[in-house]
Amino acid sequence: MENNSIFIEQLNTKQVDKVVDIENSSFKTPWPKQIFLAEIEKGKSFCRIALQEDIVAGYCISNLIFDELHIFKVAVHENHRRKGIAKYLLEDAFYFYKEKGAKNAILEVRVSNESAINLYKKIGFEALRVRKNYYQTTKEDALVMFINLDDYFQKFLSTT
Ligand SMILES: CC(C)(COP(=O)(O)OP(=O)(O)OC[C@H]1O[C@@H](n2cnc3c(N)ncnc32)[C@H](O)[C@@H]1OP(=O)(O)O)[C@@H](O)C(=O)NCCC(=O)NCCS
């Protein structure tokens, strides 16, 4: 996919170090490199990167569980934020998994993560429930958010 000089493509092992750099500067309990490599090797998750002028600016890892698209990770390098890259990465996963039968997309987000919650709300995600003490190291609660993909695409088509 391509949008205003942002390209989205499959993550491969050569780009993993760049993704790990973004991961380490974006999350309190980052995934180690081995998890990203295992996700690529297993080939079951949709592992995508956003490139801006050939630089890895962000990534998204997602998977289909029954008819639900689970967003495991989305992050954007701090120098590339507020350019629509995360929104674009999420839409890319929506397109890919809608074709494969996904009905909803679902994710967990720290209740303190205002920027991510704003992003998800802007796309149309709604809060479903709170999972108490979901994050083991910090004991923080998670907000579970979901979006119905038919609703998303109907809204999307009516505004384009
Ligand atoms: C959350 C994150 C992925 C957003 O990435 P991004 O590429 O900057 O997001 P986008 O540019 O696509 O933002 C789309 C909309 O989300 C909302 N948003 C994004 N970042 C925001 C912020 N810091 N404050 C308020 N609203 C924000 C805005 O509505 C924005 O639209 P606008 O720029 O037109 O106002 C990024 O800040 C990040 O990597 N954070 C650290 C990792 C993380 O928390 N990931 C989510 C884990 S659940």
CATH of the domain at 16: 3.40.630.30
Please state, as a whole number, how many other Cβ atoms lie within 10 Å of the Cβ of residue 29. Answer: 8
β-strand partners of 6: 3, 52
Residue 158: what pLDDT?
A: 76
pLDDT tens-digit profile of 104-151?
A: 999 999 999 999 999 999 999 999 999 999 998 899 999 999 999 999
- Cα 76 to ligand 1 centroid, rounded to whole Å: 8
Residue 4: what pLDDT?
A: 66
Measure the CA–CA gap between 140 and 50, rounded to whole angstroms.
29
**Structural domain of residue 144, as residue ranges?**
2-158
Read off the pTM: 0.96
Sheet strands (E) in the chain: 2-3, 6-10, 46-52, 55-65, 68-76, 104-110, 126-135, 140-148
Res 1 pLDDT > 70: no
Residue 112: what pLDDT?
A: 97
Mutate to test the pocket of ligand 1, among 20, 119, 138 (most ligand atoms within 8 A of CB): 119
pLDDT tens-digit profile of 32-49?
A: 999 999 999 999 999 999
Residue 3: what pLDDT?
A: 64
Q: Which residue do the tokens 């979006």 mark?
A: 147
pLDDT tens-digit profile of 2-19?
A: 566 899 999 999 999 999
Res 155 pLDDT > 90: no
Give yes or no for residue 11 CB within 6 A of ligand 1: no
Q: Which residue do the tokens 């569980």 mark?
A: 65
- Cα 95 to ligand 1 centroid, rounded to whole Å: 20
Give yes or no for residue 77 CB within 6 A of ligand 1: no
- Cα 118 to ligand 1 centroid, rounded to whole Å: 7
Give yes or no for residue 75 CB within 6 A of ligand 1: yes
Q: Number of folded domains in the chain?
A: 1
Please state, as a whole number, how many other Cβ atoms lie within 10 Å of the Cβ of residue 48. Answer: 22
pLDDT tens-digit profile of 33-91?
A: 999 999 999 999 999 999 999 999 999 999 999 999 999 999 999 999 999 999 999 99
